[in-house]
C-alpha cells in the first residue's frame, strides 16, 4: 500500500522524517481520528523512513512498504496474540480440570488465555524499540512526486491565508 508524504527533516544514514496523511483504508481504525472521525480532520503523523533516493527536505514523496514486512507485522500484532489466547484457554482449562481447581474450568481457561495474550502484548511492546531501530519494518521513499500525482484523499490541505 502506497502512502504519500512530505519530507520534514533529513537524518543520518539515509533516513528521513516524513509527514504522512493516513490512507483512506485506515481511516476507520480508531487510532488517528476515531471510528466516526471527520476525514478532513485526520491527524498527520511523522514517521522515520529509509531514504535511498536522497529526497530533500520539503519534497513530496511516495512511500512503499514491502508486502512481506506488512504481512509479518500483521502476523505479530494479530495472529500471535490470538494463538497465545487459544493456548492459554486450553492450558488453563486442562490444568483446572486435572488439578481439580475450584470454580469453572472454562473461567480458568479464559483468565489464563487473557493473561497469556496480555503477556505477549507486553513482550511485543518491549521489543518495539529494537524493531524501530532496525531497518526491517521501515517504509522506503520510492519516488519524489508532484502534487498532481498524489490522490485527492491523500493530499495535504493548502495552508490557510492570513488576511
pTM, 2 dp: 0.60
Return per-residue pLDDT of the chain as tens, 163 residues: 678 888 999 988 788 898 887 665 555 554 444 444 455 555 678 888 888 898 889 888 988 887 787 788 888 888 999 999 999 999 999 999 999 888 899 999 999 999 999 999 999 888 877 776 666 677 888 888 888 777 776 676 665 555 4
Closest CA to 14 of 63, 46, 64, 49: 49
What is the set of domains in the chain, with CATH numbers?
Answer: 3-65+139-154 (2.40.50), 68-133 (no CATH)
Amino acid at each position: 500500500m502506497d502512502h504519500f508524504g512530505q519530507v520534514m527533516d533529513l537524518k543520518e544514514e539515509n533516513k528521513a522524517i516524513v509527514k504522512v496523511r493516513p490512507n483512506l483504508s485506515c481511516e476507520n481504525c480508531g487510532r488517528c481520528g476515531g471510528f466516526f472521525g471527520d476525514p478532513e480532520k485526520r491527524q498527520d503523523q511523522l514517521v522515520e523512513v529509509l531514504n535511498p533516493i536522497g529526497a530533500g527536505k520539503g519534497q513530496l514523496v511516495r512511500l512503499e512498504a514491502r508486502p512481506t514486512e506488512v504481512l509479518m507485522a500483521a502476523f505479530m500484532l494479530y495472529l500471535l496474540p490470538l494463538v497465545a489466547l487459544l493456548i492459554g484457554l486450553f492450558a488453563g482449562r486442562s490444568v483446572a480440570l486435572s488439578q481439580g481447581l475450584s470454580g469453572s474450568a472454562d473461567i480458568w481457561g479464559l483468565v489464563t488465555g487473557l493473561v497469556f495474550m496480555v503477556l505477549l502484548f507486553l513482550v511485543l511492546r518491549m521489543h518495539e524499540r529494537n524493531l524501530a531501530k532496525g531497518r526491517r519494518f521501515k517504509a522506503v521513499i520510492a519516488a519524489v512526486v508532484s502534487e498532481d500525482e498524489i490522490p485527492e484523499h491523500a493530499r495535504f490541505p493548502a495552508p490557510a491565508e492570513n488576511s
